Amino acid sequence: MAYEGERAAMVEAVAAREDIDDSTRAAMQAVPRHEFVPEGKREAAYEDTPLPIGEGQTISAPHMVAIMTDLLELSAGEAVLEIGTGCGYHAAVTAEVVGPENVYSVEYHDRLAERARETLSRVGYGDVSVRAGDGKQGWREHAPYDRAYLTCAATDFPDAVAKQVRSGGILLSPIGDGRQVLVRAHKRPDGSLDRERHGGVRFVPLQ
């Protein structure tokens, strides 16, 4: 199959660089990243680098998708909220672990949301729910979520998103204006967040 060797090599390289678990590794192997990047960039689809996807946005580097998937500690059947659909690749990786029908993604740009929806459907993840809108507001209709993550940098976890995650759930986001840190938070029963820092990152800002 097209790009199968390149994808396997990418997964091996990421696994050698990062200590990722088996479910993350299997998800990265299953999702055809080349289908989610613009046609002119497909030769670079399996390089471990971000790539432009239009509207000033990027598809994250594979190692970063793997790190975030691991940090979310996903399990089959969990409801997951994604803020920043982009091209849909990260949602597809998440869907491989929890099931496509359990992934809800909000994208600011109408055009990207429509394109992601089309790509996800074509590649076999049509049950992922994608809508265009303000990611800072989350997606209240499907709350509560077991997990929520942002694929764009915020100054803090958006209040609405944090409220839509259940007690005991996990939030994950690049946090910072300028210098950014990947922050994971466990939601306590009183609604407060127990935060952990997981290294410096660089993401496009939340819009």
Fold of the domain built from segment(s) 4-201: Rossmann fold (3.40.50)
Q: Is residue 82 a contact partner of residue 145, using CB atoms and an 8 Å limit?
A: no
What is residue 205's predicted lDDT score, i.e. its pLDDT? 86
Residue 197 main-chain phi, psi, to 5 deg: -100, 135
Q: Is residue 135 a contact partner of residue 106, using CB atoms and an 8 Å limit?
A: yes
Catalytic residue among 60, 105, 129, 173: 60
Residue 93 main-chain phi, psi, to 5 deg: -60, -45
Q: What is the pLDDT along the chain (207 residues), one digit of tens a residue?
A: 578 999 999 999 999 999 899 999 999 999 999 999 999 999 999 999 999 999 889 999 999 999 999 999 999 999 999 999 999 999 999 999 999 999 999 999 999 999 999 999 999 999 999 999 999 999 999 999 999 999 999 999 999 999 999 999 999 999 998 899 999 999 999 999 999 999 999 888 888
Return the residue matching tokens 């969990």. 78
Bridge partners, 119 (sequence order): none
What is residue 12's predicted lDDT score, i.e. its pLDDT? 94
Which tokens hold the place of 91? 């949602």
60 in catalytic set: yes
Domain range annotation of the chain: 4-201
